[in-house]
Amino acid sequence: MKSLHKSLIHLVVFLTNFRIVATGKWIIFVIALLACGAANYYLNSKHHSDITPKTGQYLSCKTSLRGNSDVFSVYVTDGRIAQMANEKLCSNDIIKRQYGEVKVIIGQSDYDTFRYINHGVVDLALVKKNVVDAFGADQIYGLSKIASHPDYNAFFIALREKPLLTKEYLLGKRVGLLDYPSSRSGHIVPKTIMQGLGLSDNNISVVYYSSHQELRKALLAGDVDIISSYWAQDDNKRFSRNYATPLQQSVSGMQWYLKMQTQNTDLFCAMQSVVHDIAMAHPRPYYKTIKLEEGCE
């Protein structure tokens, strides 16, 4: 900034002394223009320097184990599950016995999932099996499945007619998808189907939403003609199953993984209890169906 100020001063002096070929009004105009430019440069520089990269949100709490710097980290992509996990883990006796802090990360994108799962920096994660398999996190970091939610189907869902899986039918339709490339029912499966039919963003109107609930709201509001999602029990109240066309059977369900680099069976059993309690307290029926892996009585 000092060098900029000096340059401006030199220019002002030069223009002030250049009265032989320039009028006083022209000089005043140029000086004012330079001053505005300098102010704008300063404000923009300050503004951009204050911008920090967007990262995943997280919740944290300290346990009663003083003097222990070990952090038990968790990765989920559902805000409500994150809140419940934070509360239950912070009050869990085994966690309080082994760790000094709990940190629950709420993933916002595929980049977050890649960063936390591929790099093996979390102890507990709720993700899909294909994510762990793709990164080899089970072999490299010892991520072991402790519980799983059921597989499910992917559907094209409409309000007033049963969607057809043909290029002619889908052309001109507004299709709502999930803006989360790792979602199978809301992104991967429908994209694969449409690409197989010779459809793309160039010849079909695709609108992206941040959650499955947002997809349903958009369909009810008439903002889109079709959405791609799973079929939830609550959907029977708002939509007709006759107007849901299955895209693929057995989409991989969400699964809980725990880093087991040591035979920490107390932690294994404690985490199974925690994730079971979270499942039973979650308002969505899908999460209430949970299967625990063997290993605890």
CA distances from 271 to 63, 85, 117, 119, 256 (A): 16, 10, 18, 21, 9
In contact, 123 and 73? CB cutoff 8 Å? yes
pLDDT in tens, 84-102: 999 999 999 999 999 999 9
Question: Mean pLDDT, the chain, as a whole number?
Answer: 80
Q: What is the pLDDT of residues 134-189, one digit of tens each?
A: 778 777 788 899 999 998 889 999 999 999 999 999 998 999 999 877 678 898 89
User: Is pTM, for the whole model, over 0.75?
Assistant: no
8 A C-beta contact, residue 267 and residue 144: no
Residue type, position 230, single letter: Y
